[in-house]
Amino acid sequence: MSIFDFLRGEFIDVIHWTDDSRDTMVWRFEREGHAIKYGAKLTVREGQAAVFVHEGQLADVFGPGLYQLETNNMPVMTTLQHWDHGFRSPFKSEIYFVSTVRFNGLKWGTKNPVMARDPEFGPVRLRAFGSYSMRVTDPALFLKEIVGTDGEFTADEISAHIRNVIVQEFSRVVTTSGIPVLDMAGNTADFSRIVTAAISPTIAGYGLAIPELYVENISLPEAVEAALDKRTSMGIVGDLSRYAQFSAAEAMGAAAATPNSGMGAGIGAGLGMAMGSQMAAAGPWGAAAGQGAAAGQGAAAGQGAGAQAGQGASPPPPPPPAPADMQWHLAEAGASKGPFGTDTLRGMAASGALTRATLVWTAGMAGWQPAGEVAALAGLFAQVPPPLPPGA
């Protein structure tokens, strides 16, 4: 072996890529002047592919294995270079390593609520989020359509676009499915399968595939969820009238047990009258017993109240503040006038400036209503005759 063969063997290139970042999808092998020696060793590991780009044109793609870069195993490059078997000089090319493993744990979600029509609740706003995985299935197409000349391309650079594709298709599927909101949690697997099948052609055009996609949660706005919680609570309570009686009895018992509250006499008399009314429904003997029980209860309550007064009862609480006068707005000639107090409206009704057909609104109303249909203003028209019938 000559000294030149020895030196040629010592300076043979070894081209390979090892990556521990777990988010790098494409990495370009850097070489000064992009000069690759003839006979260089190329190592492509499992989960990788090596793409050669010669003078801006995609050449060969190598799968996992060990290669010696010569003309006999680079058919496309040989055609581009017009090599002979004896050609030994370096050639200038760019080598891109593409990771073909799955990139897991990528997130997607709706930035804005999705409007849908529910058969039970009507129009609702939905939010959803989940996760997905992607992998490169066509390294050459992925390099040409997405990466370009980026020397280090990560999953974050494409995940935002994939997320938009998923959200767009999910919005279409969920709004046209006709599935009630309360049943969507049991159909997330079907949503995932349908969305994955619908976006596959678009994703394949990038040289990618979506092996897995999960819809993890579909939620409603907080106000709607609070209303659903109240509805669930009502269902658990059952008979609301019996629940109200039970709550009232507990409240009266707690008030009667409070010392110096001044409520013992009233509560005792009320309980006695209620007991007497129930006994009266059972017949004359029950009525007599009820009267006696009511009298006994009233007397006992009176004695208890008198004893408390002798011991020094606390002063009665001050009266509550007078309710604020409601302020009303009137609609005239397409414009809003006001606000006016109730006394002002009474004078306007007497003068005819306010009629039953005048549209009014105040805080707490869902919308404008004729004044004659508002219960709080019904007393204003008690002395005002209704409009004359036609032809009168």
Is 344 inside a domain boundary? Answer: yes
Is 111 inside a domain boundary? Answer: yes
Please tell me the total count of domains within the chain. 3
Residue 108 and residue 166 in one domain? yes
Among candidate residues 196, 224, 252, the one where a domain is terminated: 224
Local confidence band at 182 (pLDDT 50, 70, 90 cut-offs): confident
For the chain, the helix, strand and coil percentages under 3-state DSSP, each to the nearest 5: 45, 25, 30
Distance of CA 387 to the CA centre of its chain: 52
**3-state secondary structure (DSSP) of residue 87:** coil
Name every residue whose Cβ is closer than 8 Å to that of residue 298 and which is 6 or more positions away in sequence: 268, 269, 272
Is 130 inside a domain boundary? Answer: yes
Instruction: Please say if the pLDDT value at position 209 is more than 90.
Output: yes
Is 213 inside a domain boundary? Answer: yes
Residue 18 and residue 112 in one domain? no
Tell me which residue range forms the domain holding 115: 103-224
| 361/349 Cα distance (integer angstroms) | 16
Residue 217 and residue 114 in one domain? yes
Is 282 inside a domain boundary? Answer: no
Is 141 inside a domain boundary? Answer: yes
Residue 107 and residue 219 in one domain? yes
Residue 69 and residue 107 in one domain? no
The CATH number of whichever domain residue 203 belongs to comes to: 3.30.479.30
Ranges 103-112, 175-184, 277-286: which has the least confidence: 277-286
Residue 80 and residue 153 in one domain? no
| 112/118 Cα distance (integer angstroms) | 18
pLDDT for 138 equals 96
Among candidate residues 224, 242, 262, the one where a domain is terminated: 224
Residue 121 and residue 152 in one domain? yes
Ranges 29-33, 63-67, 101-105: which has the least confidence: 29-33
Residue 121 and residue 214 in one domain? yes
What DSSP state is assigned to residue 299?
Answer: H
Is 233 inside a domain boundary? Answer: no
pLDDT for 106 equals 95
Tokens of 209: 């595939």
Residue 38 and residue 114 in one domain? no
| 93/77 Cα distance (integer angstroms) | 9
Ranges 114-118, 215-219, 286-290, 370-374: which has the least confidence: 286-290
pLDDT for 351 equals 83
Among candidate residues 190, 224, 258, the one where a domain is terminated: 224
Residue 73 and residue 120 in one domain? no
Residue 215 and residue 157 in one domain? yes
The CATH number of whichever domain residue 355 belongs to comes to: 3.30.1490
Is 230 inside a domain boundary? Answer: no
Q: What angle do CA 305, 310, 313 make, to 5 degrees?
A: 70
pTM: 0.54
Residue 60 and residue 123 in one domain? no
Backbone φ and ψ of 121, nearest 5°: -100, -10
Note the pLDDT tens digit of each residue in 320-367: 665 567 888 888 888 888 888 888 888 888 888 888 888 988 888 888
| 163/203 Cα distance (integer angstroms) | 11
